[in-house]
Homo-oligomer: A and B are copies of this chain.
Amino acid sequence: MSELTGTQQSFRAAMANLSAAVNVVSTDGPCGRAGMTVSAACSVTDAPPTMLVCLNRASRSHGIVTGNGRLAVNVLADGQEDLAMHFAGATQVPTAERFDDAWDLDTHGVPVLRHAAAVVVGRIEAEQDLGSHTVLFVAVEHVRAHDDGGALVYFRRRFHRVGADALIA
């Protein structure tokens, strides 16, 4: 057990214990095509259907996403760790090559990952800057969900898998 005051370093250690889905936020439009791996995302309300995602303003993709005003949250499935790494900039794959034939680039105006655990396509309805990040509120236009298969989870700075192994409770 680490007992810590609210410094940046201790906060990061605690947030590493907050498990989260791994998502690629993708965009396309007048400002260009981009994608970035994001774990800080959640549902806000279903009336009207709204998600939020937190983006680092220092990232190159930030201005592209907010400039285009439309995005997809592609929730990564079990086995898509390589995509998480690509879009986190942890590999040397050029941006253009990251969007290969695993992606549907045409149907929704923004890249949609064909075999994601879920995809939410929407329009940025509001933005709120807070410290280093911007919270984007996304009005949901289109939704896609896979009914089976597992999903990728980020916990203690490692990838994990959740799937059919549900607990009883």
Contacts and interface: CB of A to CB of B under 8 A. Distances in A.
Contacts of A52: 52, 54, 135
A3 to B, nearest CB: 6
Given A21-B18, A84-B169, A140-B6, A130 B50 contact: yes
A132 to B, nearest CB: 5
Q: For the complex formed by this chain, how many copies does it contain in all? A: 2
Contact of A122 (B6, B15, B151, B158): B6
Interface in A133-169: 133, 135, 137, 140-147, 151, 153, 155-156, 158-163, 165-169
Interface in A1-27: 1-8, 10-21, 23
A14 B142 CA distance: 10
Given A45-B131, A131-B44, A10 B145 contact: yes
Given A18-B75, A165-B160, A49 B142 contact: no
Interface string A48-71: 111110100000000000000000
A143 B50 contact: no
A46 interface: yes
Interface of A: 1-8, 10-21, 23, 39-52, 54, 75, 81-82, 84-85, 117-120, 122, 128, 130-133, 135, 137, 140-147, 151, 153, 155-156, 158-163, 165-169
